[in-house]
Amino acid sequence: MKTITLTQPDDWHVHLRDGLALQRTVPDLAQQFSRAICMPNLVPPVKTVTEAEAYRSRIIQHVPKGNAFDPCMVLYFTDHTSPDEILKIKNSEHVNAIKLYPAGATTNSDNGVSDITKVYHVIEKLEEYQIPLLLHGEVTHAHIDIFDREKRFLDDVLAPLLKTFPKLKMVLEHITTADAAEFVLDQGQNVGATITPQHLLFNRNDMLVGGIKPHFYCLPILKRQTHQAKLLEVATSGNPKFFLGTDSAPHAQDAKENACGCAGCYSATHAIEFYAQAFDQVGKIERLEGFASHFGADFYGLPRNTAQITLVKEDQIIPESFDYLENQKIIPLYAGKTIQWRKV
């Protein structure tokens, strides 16, 4: 039996939702991770530092006793975000970044930014204060194929953005293509990227061959196997630009298994084991610690964790479902399937 010990990991991209959902999502995540960037796409979205502080208090109420989980907060960028609010982030202890969703890109993104060039005067402040801009990197035009939306974002939005703001600290969230990986490699150290477990372990065949499997549906959507291979290559390369962000995004079973199913994979309960599985499958388990526990903290300028966790190479079956909200279920990523790693 193989055992590895690593610094306790952090999750630099997660959706915890609000209200009753926190009873499920917060304990699940806190037993795996020390810190997490808590995404602001609530209804209504978290648009100000004051709202983020209030959301943080609601999250903390659900942290199990004796667990030191520390939520890091993010504002939701809208067409109306003011430069003053960016100054408030700079002076805030708990708000670490701002998230930009192109309007209409994904779950609860209707209040997102309609045209990024219209908020350049706000992005200027982000660059000045070195506050990370977190990007959902997909264009949303109806005529652009869903599988090309990330690549088009790189060409049409990101390249001009970084030309205008070359020192902007930014994270391209949940990258899904070789194009995005290469784009990030070509930039300076101010540009990083998170990668989810589903984009390392699966590709669009897993979602679409032999019947449509809605629990693999997330945004950006799973791509072809060659993209999966490139993501695995960069994630396990030891390059500190690439770090862990699960994008664990809960939707009740009914909302996923639906004629119009919601986007999101729920991985919070077993995320570190999923990543261990992915790294081990390509013979790079020794690279897991940097990706999962060091590089994200370094990018955000936060101290690395001191606690440790241990993983053993031992089969475990992912549960078929968990209770969620009132009388609902949530189906986790890879439900009912066996993985080879287990956190002890």
Q: Judged by CB under 6 A, which of 218, 268, 272, 318 binds ligand DOR?
A: 218
The Cα 231–Cα 199 span in angstroms is 8
β-pair type (11-14, 35-38): parallel
Those residues whose C-beta lies under 8 Å from the C-beta of residue 148, and which sit 6 or more positions away, are none
β-pair type (322-324, 308-317): unpaired
Applying the rule CB under 6 A, the residues between 246 and 265 that interact with ligand DOR are: 247, 249, 263-264
For the purposes of burial, counting CB atoms within 10 Å of the CB of 44, is it exposed (0-12), middle (13-18) or buried (19 or more)? exposed
Least Cβ distance, residue 92 to ligand DOR (angstroms): 23
Applying the rule CB under 6 A, the residues between 156 and 195 that interact with ligand DOR are: none
Tell me which residue has tokens 């009132």. 326
Applying the rule CB under 6 A, the residues between 263 and 282 that interact with ligand DOR are: 263-264
Reported as half-sphere exposure (CB side, CA atoms, 13 A), residue 278 has a value of 30
Beta-strand ranges (E) seen in the chain are 3-7, 11-14, 35-38, 70-76, 95-100, 133-135, 170-172, 191-195, 242-244, 308-317, 322-324, 328-330, 338-343
The Cα 270–Cα 329 span in angstroms is 17
Contact between 136 and ligand DOR by CB under 6 A: the answer reads yes
Contact between 219 and ligand DOR by CB under 6 A: the answer reads yes
Least Cβ distance, residue 249 to Zn ion (angstroms): 6
Contact between 113 and ligand DOR by CB under 6 A: the answer reads no
Least Cβ distance, residue 238 to Zn ion (angstroms): 25
Residue 247 is among the residues annotated as catalytic for this protein: yes
Contacted entry of Zn ion, ligand DOR, none for residue 41, CB cut-off 5 to 8 Å set by kind: ligand DOR
- Nearer to ligand DOR among residue 16 and residue 272 (C-beta): 16
Contact between 107 and ligand DOR by CB under 6 A: the answer reads yes
* Residue whose CB is nearest to Zn ion in the complex, by number: 247
Catalytic member of 28, 70, 179, 247: 247
How many amino acids of this chain bind ligand DOR (CB under 6 A)? 11
Residues catalogued as catalytic: 247
Residues within the interface to ligand DOR (CB under 6 A): 15, 41, 106-107, 136, 218-219, 247, 249, 263-264
